[in-house]
Chains A and B, each alone.
Chain A
Amino acid sequence: MPSPSRRRFLKISAATLGAAAAVPMLQQATPFARAASAGPGTVTTIPTYCEMCFWKCGGIASLRDGKLWKFEGNPLDPMSRGRLCPRGTGAPGNHIDPDRLKRPLIRSGERGQEQWKSVTWGEALDYVAERMKKIAAEHGPESIALWKHGTGSRFFEHVMRAYGCVNKAAPSFAQCRGPRDIGNLLTYGTGLGSPEPTDIANTRCLVLIGTHLGENMHNTQVQEFAEAIGKGATIICVDPRYSTAASKAKHWLPIRPGTDLALVLAWLNVLVKEGLYDKDFVAKHGHGFDKFAAAIAENTPEWAEKETGIAAGVIRETAREMARHRPATLVHPGRRVNWNGDDAQRARAIALLNALLGNWGRQGGIFLAAGMKIAGYPFPKYPEPGKPKVDNPDGRWPFADEEVTTGLREATITGKPYPIKGWVVYAANLIQTLPNEKETIEAIKKLDLLVVVETHPSEIAGWADVVLPDTTFLERHDDFYVGWGRQGWAAMRQPVVAPPDEQKPAWWMAKELANRLGVGAYMPFKDMEEYLAVRCEKSGIDYAKFKREGIVMGPKKPITIEEGAEIAFDTPSKKVEFFSDQLAKAGFDPVPKYTPPEAPPAGFYPLVTGRSPVHTFSRTQTNPLLADLVGENEVWINAATAAKAGLKSGQYVRLKNEDGVVSNRVKVKATQRIRPDTLYMVYGFGHTAKGLRRALNKGASAAQLNTRYKVDPLMGGTSIHRNFVTFEKEA
């Protein structure tokens, strides 16, 4: 039977896929050099792990005639479970993105003017090394700081530390999950890390507070979320917006922004007062429960109703629902939780809620993540730090256990306790990441050297003295990703295609820089293959098989009490701290206390932010595949509010905050799906860097409007939901 199909269809299916089908997929791993010279219509597959976001799913790239075709989940990988999220699936778009940085650049105009001359790698790296040496000579190597995000920064950090640099910071702490980890650390003696050990798949009742699963595409969690829905789990969703998750919920609680802590305290109150909590767990593992119970005695649902706008009856009903399913009730700890500047205490309250439900180490609750060990590479020892870090002077944020970004920025501005004269920025678009870009620019102006390593000409790259074009993850080796989860595993990153222009992998840049800085001994391997092979050999892992399959699984261990795991808590009391003596000692509320948020001035609205399922931060907006689906953000306005303001869906407005900062124009989405007093926007849009041609001036930037931010006194987290905005109509 002839197949009357499209020409291309025939070409692809008959020749290419037919050939692919003949050979089992995982046996085809071929280095890209060989794949590129393969005959016409040949499909080759190479496993690697994704870096479209921080979830780092294992995937398998397919090349057709040596050209990158598609990227799919690796069935062996416990994160993707064979299925990537839309960003991972869209990764080939990053490779072909015409807006990518192509070759090394040295600034030729004023800082921030985005005027460049193209240089060779030798010139660029010489320039960086000379400037670094000069700063080190004048101020010491401690005066050069590293800003980082993602796997690729690993060898920059290594080489800089070898050179004597001590200062570094990652926005993933103070601008993201930091408050949550500290809240849990103070309660349970451990942060939750990434990926969060949440047993969503087996939960009977999932409580989401602002966590918009399905719009944030934390792959495994979204997969498990769907699984939980399939199994009929009860979902309670707290969000001022009728999020995707809210639409799946039995109870949607459209809360007034900034009052979440009041709701959580009221829930705690109901569970305690009605005696619905896990008394055995509290008796066995709780510390300071009575003092805690006394502290929340006034936080009744009636009290919370006035703050949150959620009816007291609903608060009681949902608390009872949670109790009914415990310990298989999971209050999701959240991830990007830096909303109001008091977030560590809210995260702690959520941790206490989970504690009352007794779900620690339980099926359907929070499991005890298992890991695996891969031996390190035998590097020489780092030199002793010459000076202390500058980001958290005198323990200003006493419970910060990672570096505080705004602290480092402030030290750069003030020059205290000692000057910071050089920044190396790896894949962290500080203009869109840190609050109040004015301060970031002020800090940049104090620098003698700003090096930006990026795949794209981002806003921060626009301010750089030297821009080093990075490869995308599909074009490079990186260190292994050794993950914690239901079972430990490690994933391999290896190049799938050659970079299209002069881009170089981060490890290569770091190695070349190390040689120029005289610390080449710290990068003794020829290339990453050698480095990775040594680590495998020392760990008894078959490197060739690892390369072929992309994933190595660690030992299976019990991760819940049901499976035989034992729980212990690394707090000062060695128990779950319902009452925190260390917080009391440091002068903070030992039991979380609610402070009402300020009310917006007339005509202004709180702006809350979230994610689009097809974008990561501010870094994917030029990806042709993803930008095609969501090319700009929209500002969500309740339909009734919009009608009163004379605004219609599809119309453009600008947002203006209380400090008079006016955003780029952004489309109105007039919708029933949000509280009448709240606005919502996906962040990461509103790019101003000229090189990001596809994304330039598309939508509004939430970061730009974040000029009034509060800093979490416990750990230095900076708020992003404390700005009020109003509309300016577009003529």
Chain B
Amino acid sequence: MARFGMVIDTAKCVGCMDCVVACQTENDVPHGHCRDWIVTEVRGTYPTLEMEIRSERCNHCDNPPCVYCCPTGASHVEPFGKTVQVTANRCIGCKACLAACPYGARFVHPEGYADKCTFCLHRVKEGKDPACVSVCPTRCMHFGDLDDPKSEVNRLLGSRKWHTLLPEAGTKPRIFYLD
């Protein structure tokens, strides 16, 4: 069974937010909310600077605190791709998962349930990439099976330096950022 993850090349990402807009239209994300977003991190003092731009979203962690804390099983690990998903009609809206996520990846949908990135499973099931990946003008995002040693994501992870977000939180995130 696959274990989906993403590899994002920060050297190429320009932070144009296309991934955010594509997610909004693809998934009817309610106005004023976002399932993915852009973080810009600047280090240094003028004029000696470094900047990393990242497209961020749910990390579909191997060790997902949001799933662990969910009292109803609404937040669960979907067998397909071992992705973290929310079943709206099992969610009671306790918001524990929002507090449990160190990445702030979740929000409360105006209809009351917890919502977040699904890795566009509906597209993936059709053999397509998630909307954010397939729209990216810089082609900096790569989606694939981390359990498949021959997958493009694994090839990239093997060939470049990378980091994940807040590894100290122990969540084992599955979005990898190439330096």
Q: Is B26 an interface residue (CB 8 A)?
A: yes
Q: Is B175 an interface residue (CB 8 A)?
A: no
Q: Known: A6-B86, A214-B15, A672-B42. Contact between A70 and B26, CB under 8 A?
A: yes
| From A71, A92, A629, contact of B17 by CB (8 A) | A629
Q: Known: A90-B21, A244-B53, A673-B49. Contact between A7 and B88, CB under 8 A?
A: yes
| From A69, A248, A628, contact of B31 by CB (8 A) | A628
Q: Is A21 an interface residue (CB 8 A)?
A: yes
Across-interface contacts of B11 in A (CB, < 8 A): 229-230, 248
Q: Known: A4-B87, A214-B14, A244-B15. Contact between A671 and B42, CB under 8 A?
A: yes
Across-interface contacts of B31 in A (CB, < 8 A): 624, 628
Inter-subunit contact B14/A222 (CB<8 Å)? yes
A13 vs B53: C-alpha distance in the bound complex, in angstroms? Answer: 32
Q: Known: A229-B11, A672-B45. Contact between A247 and B53, CB under 8 A?
A: yes
| From A4, A226, A230, contact of B85 by CB (8 A) | A4
Inter-subunit contact B125/A13 (CB<8 Å)? yes
Q: Known: A6-B88, A17-B122. Contact between A676 and B46, CB under 8 A?
A: yes
Across-interface contacts of A73 in B (CB, < 8 A): 135
Q: Which stretch, B61-69, B136-144, B162-170, touches the partner chain A? A: B136-144
Could you tell me the distance in whole angstroms from the C-beta of B54 to the nearest C-beta in chain A? 12
Interface residues of A in 151-195 (CB under 8 A from B): none
Q: Is A252 an interface residue (CB 8 A)?
A: yes
Could you tell me the distance in whole angstroms from the C-beta of B16 to the nearest C-beta in chain A? 4
CB closest residue in chain A, given B51: A247
Q: Is A337 an interface residue (CB 8 A)?
A: no
Inter-subunit contact A89/B51 (CB<8 Å)? no
Q: Is B148 an interface residue (CB 8 A)?
A: no
Which residues of A approach B to under 8 Å, CB–CB? 1, 3-9, 12-13, 17, 21, 69-73, 83-86, 89-90, 92, 213-215, 217, 219, 222-223, 225-227, 229-230, 242, 244-245, 247-248, 252, 254, 613-614, 624-626, 628-630, 638-640, 671-676
Q: Is B155 an interface residue (CB 8 A)?
A: no
Q: Known: A628-B31, A672-B42, A672-B44. Contact between A85 and B53, CB under 8 A?
A: no
CB-CB nearest 7 A-B residue pairs: A214-B14, A13-B122, A226-B138, A247-B51, A613-B16, A70-B25, A86-B18
A639 vs B47: C-alpha distance in the bound complex, in angstroms? Answer: 12
Inter-subunit contact A9/B122 (CB<8 Å)? yes
Across-interface contacts of A254 in B (CB, < 8 A): 46-47
Q: Known: A223-B139, A625-B21, A629-B21. Contact between A613 and B79, CB under 8 A?
A: no
A21 vs B125: C-alpha distance in the bound complex, in angstroms? Answer: 10
Q: Is B105 an interface residue (CB 8 A)?
A: no
Could you tell me the distance in whole angstroms from the C-beta of A553 to the nearest C-beta in chain B? 21
Across-interface contacts of A6 in B (CB, < 8 A): 85-88, 113, 115, 118
Inter-chain CB contacts under 8 Å: number: 160
**Interface residues of B, CB < 8 Å — how many?**
52
Across-interface contacts of B78 in A (CB, < 8 A): 3-5
A678 vs B85: C-alpha distance in the bound complex, in angstroms? Answer: 47
Across-interface contacts of A214 in B (CB, < 8 A): 14-16, 138
Across-interface contacts of B76 in A (CB, < 8 A): 4
Q: Is B22 an interface residue (CB 8 A)?
A: yes
Q: Known: A4-B87, A13-B125. Contact between A640 and B46, CB under 8 A?
A: yes
Report 11 cross-chain contacts, Cβ distance below 8 Å, ordered by A residue: A1-B79, A7-B88, A73-B135, A83-B137, A89-B22, A89-B25, A223-B137, A226-B12, A254-B47, A673-B46, A675-B46
A3 vs B34: C-alpha distance in the bound complex, in angstroms? Answer: 24
A580 vs B61: C-alpha distance in the bound complex, in angstroms? Answer: 64
Q: Known: A83-B135, A83-B137, A614-B17. Contact between A17 and B44, CB under 8 A?
A: no
| From B14, B20, B21, B88, contact of A226 by CB (8 A) | B14
A467 vs B59: C-alpha distance in the bound complex, in angstroms? Answer: 49
Q: Known: A6-B87, A229-B11, A247-B51. Contact between A217 and B21, CB under 8 A?
A: no
A89 vs B131: C-alpha distance in the bound complex, in angstroms? Answer: 11
A242 vs B135: C-alpha distance in the bound complex, in angstroms? Answer: 26
Across-interface contacts of A71 in B (CB, < 8 A): 25
Across-interface contacts of A614 in B (CB, < 8 A): 16-17, 21
- Mark contacts of B2-35 with chain A using CB atoms, 8 A cut-off: 1 yes-contact digit, 0 otherwise: 0000000101101111101110111010011010
CB closest residue in chain B, given A245: B14
A731 vs B90: C-alpha distance in the bound complex, in angstroms? Answer: 49
CB closest residue in chain A, given B139: A226
Choose among B17, B50, B89 the residue with the greatest number of A CB atoms under 10 Å from its CB. B17
CB closest residue in chain B, given A638: B46
Inter-subunit contact A673/B14 (CB<8 Å)? no
Q: Known: A17-B122, A226-B139. Contact between A244 and B14, CB under 8 A?
A: yes
| From B51, B53, B135, contact of A84 by CB (8 A) | B135
Could you tell me the distance in whole angstroms from the C-beta of B159 to the nearest C-beta in chain A? 12
CB closest residue in chain A, given B25: A70
Interface residues of B in 90-105 (CB under 8 A from A): 90
